[in-house]
Amino acid sequence: MKKSRLFAPFLMLLAGAVASIMMYYFKYSMMQMLPRLLVILLSFYLAGYFIQKKVTSFVEQIKIEEEKEGEVIEKEVPEGDQEQEASGESVIETTDKTG
């Protein structure tokens, strides 16, 4: 399982643990604690889910951009170098950022 899939549940459990400790410290009754804890767990799970989706989409965009940089790019030939093109020579530049 990917580590990025565990972000939303981890955030939810962390928020739930902090909220439970705080409510226990301030002497909340069980009937006061449970509905509030449920709302906290759901809201932090949803927040973590949306953050997880945004981060995943950003990572995918970065991977796509890196793949595009590695492709062959054909340059336009300036007017002075048209004799080279007429003789059959072409100018091709590759970009590779692995070095």
Please give the mean pLDDT across all residues of the chain. Answer: 83
| This model's pTM is above 0.85 | no
Write down the pLDDT at residue 2: 75
Give the separation between CA 68 and CA 61, rounded to whole angstroms: 11
Percentage of the chain exceeding pLDDT 70 = 71
Residue type present at position 38: L
- Residue 85: band (very low, low, confident or very high) from pLDDT cuts 50, 70, 90: low
> Over the stretch 66-77, which tens digit does the pLDDT of each residue have?
888 877 556 676
Whether pLDDT at 88 is above 80: no
Q: Which of 37, 11, 9 is nearest to 23 (CA)?
A: 37
